[in-house]
Amino acid sequence: MSDVSKMSFEEAIKELEAVVGQLERGDVALDDSIALYERGAALKARCEAKLKEAEEKVAKITLGENGTAAGTAPLDD
């Protein structure tokens, strides 16, 4: 398994969908289900963090006089 903290949003969401599918089918042993649930929780947290990061970047886009994107404000305002 790859390190969740280094996954892109797309990688994390794809694996999360696979984990959910396995859990919904119920065809894994209890111990494996627990491990899958924990992995799924970590993947969900990664997806949420990446979405929040994207939202913050979008919120920092500055507009020029004609309404087009002119740049970005620093993220640490």
| Residue 57: alpha-carbon gap to chain centroid | 15
CA distance 6 to 15: 13
The pTM of this model reads 0.78
Please report the pLDDT score of residue 54 as a whole number: 92
Average confidence (pLDDT) over 60-76 = 69
Q: Taking residues 44-69, what's their average pLDDT?
A: 85
Domain extent for 54: 4-72
Instruction: Give whole-number Cα distances, 12 to 3, 4, 31, 52, 67, in Å.
Output: 10, 7, 22, 14, 34
Its sign, for the CA torsion 40, 42, 44, 47, is: negative
User: What is the tens place of the pLDDT at every residue in 27-48?
Assistant: 999 999 999 999 999 999 999 9
Q: CATH code at 61?
A: 1.10.287
Position 22 in a domain? yes
Q: What is the mean pLDDT of the chain?
A: 89
Tokens of 8: 């892109």
Residue of higher predicted confidence among 67 and 31: 31
Domains of the chain: total: 1
- Classify residue 77: in a domain, yes or no: no
